[in-house]
Amino acid sequence: MPLRGLRAYTGAMTAITQSPDRLAKRNILVLVAAQAVMGSQMPMIFTIAGLAGQSLAPNACWATLPISAAVIGSMLTATPLSALMQRYGRRAGFAVGAMGGALGGGIGAYGLLMQNFVLFVLAGLFTGIYMSAQGFYRFAAADTASDAFLPKAISWVMAGGLLSAVVGPQLVKLTADAMVVPFLGTYLAVMALNLGGVFLFGLLDIPKPKAPAAGEAAGRTRGQMIRTPRIAVAMICATVSYALMNLVMTSSPLAVVGCGFTKSNAADVVTGHVLAMYIPSFFTGHLIARFGAEKIVAVGLVILATAGAVAMSGFDLAHFFIALALLGLGWNFGFIGATTMLTAEQTPAERGRLQGLNDLVVFGGVTMASFSSGGLMNCAGGTVHAGWQMVNLAMLPFLVLAGGALIWLSLRPAARAA
């Protein structure tokens, strides 16, 4: 028995070491750890930045401007970061992102200490550098994965956000009122997470893309790629999924507190939302492999619409929990499905251009959603309830756009033939 057991163990280990996705799985472990550690800062910032901004801003309509600044930072740095990774590798790009996040935490803490709203908004721009870099984790997971393993690789890395969904809001509870200045401790914790987590990227083993040889095709231009039907639809669906999630999530802490609940209640709602964003990642890849990315994206859009309907149906704490949980689930299906569609259409030479272009478009949409969120919430109606209704109603035209794009893609002759 011991000999047979040893042989079985040796055979299993040999199969693992000879697996074509052995390197991909190792890199996934590093990226999951990065999602869990440094990714915690995003639910922290989205929970308290609007509340802190509300106390600092000269006008309540600008309360969510610090969050909008983070999204603007993501949009502006997506293309340069992608080009940097194409030339110097993923590790360099991710380290730059972590340093940006640390600067954002430090400047945010100083802005709170000085009660300076402009500095607090500037902190958001630096936080956006980290936010942009984190967006490339999902692409890095695909770099060393086989075609069959690709949707699972993306899905597993996204699942790393599960721990951040728990850790981030709990850190908010521990740090929000830990110092005399509210939320100062939270921003100091954000800085520490980035400085500590940057060392994880030394463990990544992702080869840099080879530069095209003289006379060798460098792939399609950005204009050619964006005119490719499947790429265009993938970008539309990714943008709508991410932007609508951001639109509603940004205002949710303001709505929860404005409806008479506590900051801890708001943190718990965000925890439930982020859990719903990442828990499905354990099986989203399997669903995509079985049913196809387009169908999973379509299901995600339907769930996002359902989230809006639930949010508009009442203002009890249960309504917030259910609506935000559905919002997270819809984002997961829509965004991971669209990412899978996109990565299946790229070549190694096109990777930097396409991924940078995609995230530029995605975060451009998220920027508009983030800007709109605070205005709709605080200025579109006379009450908190009316503002929250407007935020959720604004989802409708964009869901129609993404759904129409998917239907158009499925009706094309090439799609029918496939």
Q: What is the mean pLDDT of residues 288-299?
A: 93
Supply 183's token pair: 């939320």
pLDDT at 4 > cutoff 60 = no
Q: d(Cα 149, Cα 285) in Å, to the nearest integer? A: 9
Residues contacting 3, CB < 8 A, separation 6+: none
- Per residue in 21-76, pLDDT (tens digit) is 788 888 888 998 898 888 888 888 877 887 888 888 887 778 778 888 888 898 88
Q: Mean of the pLDDT values across residues 272-295?
A: 88
The ranges assigned to domains in the chain are: 21-205+220-417
| pLDDT recorded at residue 215 | 53
The dihedral formed by the CA atoms of 298, 302, 305 and 306, expressed in degrees to the nearest 10 = -160
Nearest to 364 by CA among 130, 37, 68, 60: 68
The CB density around residue 178, as the number of other CB atoms within 10 Å, is: 15
3-state secondary structure (DSSP) of residue 206: coil
Of the two residues 13 and 7, the one the predictor is more confident about is: 7
DSSP 17-71: HT-TTHHHHHHHHHHHHHHHHGGGHHHHHHHHHHHHHHHH-SSGGGTTHHHHHHH
Per the CB < 8 A criterion, the answer to whether 104 and 49 are in contact is no
| Tens-digit pLDDT profile for residues 201-236 | 888 888 876 665 555 566 778 788 888 999 999 999
CATH number of 21-205+220-417: 1.20.1250.20
The predicted pLDDT at position 362 comes to 87
Q: Give the distance from CA 326 to its chain's centroid.
A: 16
Please give the residue that has the higher pLDDT: either 150 or 14.
150
The two three-digit tokens of residue 77, written as one number: 């740095």
Which two structure tokens, joined as six digits, stand for 410? 């499925």
Name the least confident of 70-74, 154-158, 329-333, 402-406.
154-158
The whole-number pLDDT of residue 338 equals 94
Query: What are the φ and ψ backbone dihedral angles of 304, each rounded to 5 degrees?
Result: -60, -40
**The pLDDT of residue 75:** 84
Q: Which two tokens stand for residue 151?
A: 């949707």
Least confident among 3-17, 55-69, 84-98, 379-393: 3-17
pLDDT reported for residue 22: 84
Say if residue 415's pLDDT is above 70: no
116 phi, psi to nearest 5 deg: -115, 110
Tens digits of residue pLDDT in 165-196: 778 888 888 888 888 888 899 999 999 999 98
Between CA 225 and CA 166 the distance in angstroms is 38
Q: Kindly report the backbone phi and psi dihedral angles of residue 257, in degrees, each rounded to the nearest multiple of 5, phi listed first.
A: -70, -40
The percentage of the chain sitting over the pLDDT mark of 90, rounded to a whole number, equals 34
What pLDDT does 3 receive?
Answer: 44
DSSP-based three-state secondary structure for 176: coil
Give the pLDDT confidence score for residue 53 in this predicted structure.
Answer: 83
